[in-house]
Amino acid sequence: MEDIEIARNAKLKNINEITSKLGIPEDEIEPYGKYKAKISINYLNQLKDKKDGKLILVTAINPTPLGEGKTTTSIGLSDALNKINKKTILTLREPSLGPVFGIKGGATGGGHSQVAPMEDINLHFTGDIHAITSANNLLSAIIDNHIFQGNELGFDKVVWKRCVDLNDRALRKVEIGLSGEKNMSPREDSFDITVASEIMAIFCLATSIKDLKRRLGNIIVGYTKESKPITCHDLKAEGSLTVLLKDALSPNIVQTLENNPAIIHGGPFANIAHGCNSILATKMALKLGDYVVTEAGFGADLGAEKFLDIKCRNLGKSPDAVVIVATLRALKYHGGVAKENVNLKNTEAIKEGIHNLLKHVENIRKYGLNPIVAINKFTSDTEEELDVLKKLLEGKVEYSLLENWAKGGEGAIDLAEKVVNICEKEKDFKPIYELSGSIREKIETIAKEIYGATGITYSEQAIYDLEKIEKLAKNMPVCIAKTQYSFSDDPKNLLCKEPFNINVTSIEIKNGAEFVVVKAGKIMTMPGLPKNPAAEKIDIDESGNIIGIF
């Protein structure tokens, strides 16, 4: 049975039943139909004196192109913790329409470990990402109108990009201002996908409406001839942008197929952005639950590193346990097997690919945290292969075999019990770098300590960027944008056996998000569609049911 059929056949409860179980007053909830709602951010103020619950971070090995079931694991673990009577809340990112209609599909889990209503969450949901897109493009319109009306602020270069929440490679570089109107100066522009935009990052890192407005005002949108930065505040635009984002800033609550609470809010990618759900959602969950399961996108080298070095600094809390999801197919992929053959039996490739997984384990320990490996079992896995993996992990790291795709929370109880024990262990969390270091020092630390690179090279553009923003970006963390498929910046270098460099192509300051984006390799902030996109299979039948979303 397809995921969408399993989700459709589930018996969901009215969202008011889910929120009342958490003790949330009815007047703090704004329902969006029967099965989804927003929780007022003002309610967080009422919870400020409550003790935080335990925080569990779910991350993964470097993935195959179709992913390794990290979200499915997060959902199954949350359901399993509730099954063993631990009051647990799940917090996830909102899916982007880019992957839904592209190659990766939706982001609501799979099998019997899903969040619902599946179609709503994967498509327009409560409109948060549309609000972010509108705010982003309103700022673009204000910039170009300001220039058209006389350019009082003296724009010499505009660095703010437009965005759209779809994979559209044709928008990577565009010409605008071609109407021929007087005072209209044509210029080159480009689009990011919305989930890579600075406003998405700001949305996810803001701690209140006031903080949101402050951060929006600090966005650098361009520079004068003297290289003086021009901000959103200079354009008097932050108020309008805040108004567009006001309702979206309240976290969304839905449920798992087992009727357990799930807060889904914010959706930055981890390869080209910082890859974590919103601070507000996580804070809300920590106050409402005894255990909170959250995730960071893609492999631990991207999502977990950014969670620990960027989000934790804003959240004021670090994980009490870290789950690293691994699959046999990903181990084979990183053991040299072609992606079309990863479901075929190959114990030798598993022995080769284990180095990728153990590097992630080592990295999490560098932060002073306690990891556990969750082996996400697929129907194509053989007992012989699983036994090989278990022997490779024995004595090196604790592990658990997952079967929640087929069995729901029941299939993740072993993991849940082990995670509860890990949460009681001592930890000595420390980010991998100090904020006081230079941008170069931070890049070098991540590249060498987390990726295992031998060195870093900088393009002429990157050197120019560094000189321009070093003083502006003092004490900011860095967010490295690179391929998710490898520790290196080359998606084809899966084994990373030979010494490699991280090749920095450009660097941008995100002054509102308060971090620096470092682009490495051939990474694009506007993805493209594959030859046969998922959009070709998505449809609606005569009864009005959506089909083809996975």
Quote the CA–CA distance of 71 and 138 in Å, as a whole number. 33
Amino acid letter, residue 378 = F
Question: What tokens does 519 get?
Answer: 């682009």
Q: Which of 378, 407, 440, 550 does the annotation list as catalytic?
A: 378
Active site residue 500: no
Distance CA 52, CA 450 (A): 29
536: DSSP letter: G
- Which one is catalytic: 269, 298, 307, 515? 298
Exposure string (b/e) for 43-61, b if CB count within 10 Å is 16 or more? bbeeeeeeebbbbbbbbbb
Is 160 a known active-site residue?
no
Active site residue 93: yes
What is the spatial distance between Cα 550 and Cα 416, in angstroms, rounded to a whole number?
26
Q: By the 8 A CB rule, do 342 and 333 touch?
A: yes
Residue 517 token pair:
């984006």
The catalytically annotated residue of 269, 307, 405, 487 is 405
User: Residues of 212-231 as b/e, b for ≥16 C-beta within 10 angstroms?
Assistant: bbbbbbbbbbbbeeeeebbb
Coil/strand/helix, residue 548 = coil
For residue 322, which phi and psi values (nearest 5 degrees)? -125, 125
Which of 19, 59, 72, 242 is catalytic? The answer is: 72
- The residues with which 517 forms a beta bridge, in sequence order, are 479, 508
203 is annotated as an active-site residue = no
Do 245 and 132 contact (CB within 8 A), yes or no? yes
Catalytic choice (36, 38, 70, 311): 70
The answer to whether residue 378 is catalytic is: yes
User: Residue 116 pairs with which residues in a beta bridge?
Assistant: 255
DSSP string, 63-95: PPTT---HHHHHHHHHHHHHHTT--EEEEEPPP
Q: What share of residues in the chain are helix, strand, coil (percent, to 5)?
A: 40, 20, 45
Residue 30: beta bridge partners? 38
Cα–Cα nearest to 37, from 252, 245, 248, 262: 252
Distance, CA of 518 to CA of 531 (rounded, Å): 29
Q: Annotated catalytic residue: which of 131, 270, 330, 447?
A: 270
Q: Which DSSP string corresponds to 461-522?
A: HHHHHHHHHTTTTTT--EEEE--SS-SSS-TT--S--S--EEEEEEEEEETTTTEEEEEETT
- What single DSSP character describes residue 444? H
Instruction: Indicate the pairing of strand 261-264 with strand 252-256.
Output: antiparallel
Tell me how long the chain is.
Answer: 550
The yes-or-no answer on residue 442 being catalytic is: no
Task: Enter the tokens of residue 224.
Answer: 């004068």
Q: Which of 38, 54, 86, 93 is catalytic?
A: 93
**Distance of alpha carbon 422 from alpha carbon 426, whole angstroms:** 8
Q: Which residues are catalytic?
A: 70, 72, 93, 104, 270, 298, 378, 405
